[in-house]
Chain A
Amino acid sequence: MAAMFSQNPLMNGPNYSFNQAPTTASGNKQHGFYPYTDNGGSTLAISGNDFTIIAGDTRSTSGYNINTRYAPKVFKIGGTTDSQDDATLVLSVVGFAADGHALKERLDAIVKMYRYQHGKPMSVKACAQRLSTILYGKRFFPYYVTAILGGLDEDGKGAVYSYDPVGSYEREQCRAAGAAASLIMPFLDNQVNFKNQYMPGIGEGHALAEREKIPLPRNEVEDLVKDAFDSAVERHIEVGDGLLMMIITKDGIEEIFKPLKKD
């Protein structure tokens, strides 16, 4: 900063502005405020042949405290009424609850506007793409959430789309997200996609035949979801209290609540 008050205008301009006053002495200004937090919890989505199940626990935490035992993370999106009972899409958000809530409100408003402007409900595929652009719109101040969108595709088959916080997304058979994702996802790989399962007594080494991949029936998937959460509750302190499942079929969205351990 010796050049600060140099007598040579050519070196660093005319030197009359306070904007050229030194800044080094003050050092870097740091903000003490951190705009994010983690509210724990876990979500899970599985698509079947003609249905999609999206589930999430209902606990909300801050640190070691439980904020509440009932704060749903799974929402109906884009219905025409206040109760959303004619909605066809479901969104789950887990991570920072305030961002999750803001994201859900935004997507819901957009899907409602789509119906108003186009006179038809939004398809999952379209909604999935739109959700990605919403998330990417805050690329440099992200919504700190892992979102999963579920519904039925144009052929009536179950569809699950999963996201990262800045909008990367793909369609998947099943996906777990949130605090206990790492506990649930390997279990789903094995029990939904039959990974590492082979036909009994077929052979060894390269002769091993993989178990045939057939979509599971609805009642089995429901049991799988409950088992996944029961075991997550045992092993992760941020998961528990209640399990809210939404099951999307061509007849609408069915809601099921089951209690989980509260410890």
Chain B
Amino acid sequence: MNHLPQAWGRPRDDVYGAYDASYLQSNGPNQHTQSPIVTGTSVVALKFKDGVVIAADNLASYGSLARFTDVKRLRTFADTSVVGFGGDVSDMQYLDRLLNSLDTEEAYSTSGHTLNAKNLHTYLAKVFYKRRSDFNPLWNQVLVAGLDGEGKPFLASADLLGTTFSSPSLATGFGANLAQPLLRKVAPDEEAASKLSQEQALEAVKESMKVLFYRDARSLDKYSIAVVTKDGIDLKEDEKLEKQSWAFADQIRGYGTQVN
């Protein structure tokens, strides 16, 4: 008979080995996000003459399972900015709540909204950097699109490590490999981007989304796309990829010598 209460009703150590009680401990290391679970793939964006185009597909994957096919990954902020989220979806939803409360707090200020896309990007970058420094990261890479303090098109990235950068075109995840080269052909530098029309920018971004659907196994043909200009945000959340090219496929047979 064991008289110690913490051993009662437990499997015997000498038979089953030591009981794993690590989850009972309060003085061990905290469990933080170690890896993303439900994930969104690329976000792509491109600056043009008087604004920014940004797009992301509507898929949230659970590993290789295309689990949620109607998840909107573009979020508008204060009718002036759009944030596109890649990476963990629960962390995206947390950030969404965080931005909602920021929105509310801002509305209390006497002058109404003062946060432009640049300020919003700084805020998000600080949140990301603080969380990575606490070893408790928000597993996302986000693109912030809108206008800066001078009313010029603004586009910048922030990620789970707090790394930030800005460029005439940006793409996260798989898009950094596939979309970015296509977008850089359209806008190699800031000067080229400042000469692009809205139609050209839209076409380039839509073309990138199509290439990503062809080649990214975690992508979807339904996507959201937003155009931010000084006149506001034009957000479409149920777009479908057009004019895909598959007709060549029935000409391809075998892996080498097969004739028909």
Instruction: Name A29's contact: one of B29, B129, B132 (CB within 8 Å).
Output: B29
- A residues 32-53 near B (Cβ < 8 Å) are 32-33, 35-37, 39
- Give the complex CA separation of A69 and B191 in angstroms: 13
Query: A25-B17, A25-B19, A35-B133 are known contacts. Are A18 and B6 too (CB-CB below 8 A)?
Result: yes
- Give the complex CA separation of A24 and B7 in angstroms: 17
- B162 near A16 with CB under 8 A, answer no
Binary flags per residue of A13-34, CB closer than 8 Å to B gives 1, else 0: 0011011011111100101110
Count of residues in A whose CB is under 8 Å from the partner chain: 37
- B129 near A98 with CB under 8 A, answer yes
- B21 near A22 with CB under 8 A, answer yes
- Give the complex CA separation of A2 and B12 in angstroms: 11
- Give the complex CA separation of A102 and B129 in angstroms: 9
- Say yes or no: is A67 at the interface (Cβ < 8 Å to chain B): yes
Q: Which residue of the partner chain B has the closest CB to A22?
A: B18
Binary flags per residue of B160-203, CB closer than 8 Å to A gives 1, else 0: 01111111001000001100100000000110000000000000
Interchain nearest-CB distance for A145 vs B (Å): 13
Can you give 10 contacting A-B residue pairs, CB < 8 Å? A4-B18, A5-B6, A19-B25, A19-B27, A29-B28, A31-B135, A33-B32, A67-B165, A68-B166, A68-B167
Interchain nearest-CB distance for A155 vs B (Å): 38
- A26 near B22 with CB under 8 A, answer yes
Listed in ascending order, the chain A residues whose CB lies under 8 Å from chain B are 1-2, 4-5, 7, 15-16, 18-19, 21-26, 29, 31-33, 35-37, 39, 60, 62, 65, 67-71, 96-98, 101-102, 141
- B13 near A5 with CB under 8 A, answer yes
List the A side residues contacting B163 at CB < 8 Å: 37, 39, 62, 67, 96-98
Q: Which residue of the partner chain B has the closest CB to A2?
A: B13
- A36 near B161 with CB under 8 A, answer yes
- Say yes or no: is B247 at the interface (Cβ < 8 Å to chain A): no
- A29 near B18 with CB under 8 A, answer no
Query: A23-B25, A29-B28 are known contacts. Are A71 and B6 too (CB-CB below 8 A)?
Result: no
- Give the complex CA separation of A4 and B2 in angstroms: 12
List the A side residues contacting B32 at CB < 8 Å: 31, 33
Would you call the interface of chain A mostly helix, strand, loop, or mixed?
loop
The 7 A-B residue pairs with the shortest CB-CB distance in the complex, in nearest-first order: A21-B21, A98-B162, A26-B22, A22-B18, A68-B167, A32-B34, A25-B20
Interchain nearest-CB distance for B134 vs A (Å): 10
- A21 near B19 with CB under 8 A, answer yes
- A71 near B18 with CB under 8 A, answer no
Interchain nearest-CB distance for A134 vs B (Å): 15
Query: A23-B21, A23-B22, A97-B165 are known contacts. Are A33 and B135 too (CB-CB below 8 A)?
Result: yes
List the A side residues contacting B164 at CB < 8 Å: 97-98, 101
- B25 near A22 with CB under 8 A, answer no
- Give the complex CA separation of A40 and B4 in angstroms: 59
Instruction: Name A65's contact: one of B18, B135, B176 (CB within 8 Å).
Output: B176
Query: A5-B7, A32-B34 are known contacts. Are A69 and B20 too (CB-CB below 8 A)?
Result: no
- B162 near A102 with CB under 8 A, answer yes
- A5 near B21 with CB under 8 A, answer no
- Give the complex CA separation of A2 and B161 in angstroms: 43
Q: Which residue of the partner chain B has the closest CB to A17?
A: B6
Interchain nearest-CB distance for B170 vs A (Å): 8
- B157 near A15 with CB under 8 A, answer no
- B22 near A70 with CB under 8 A, answer no
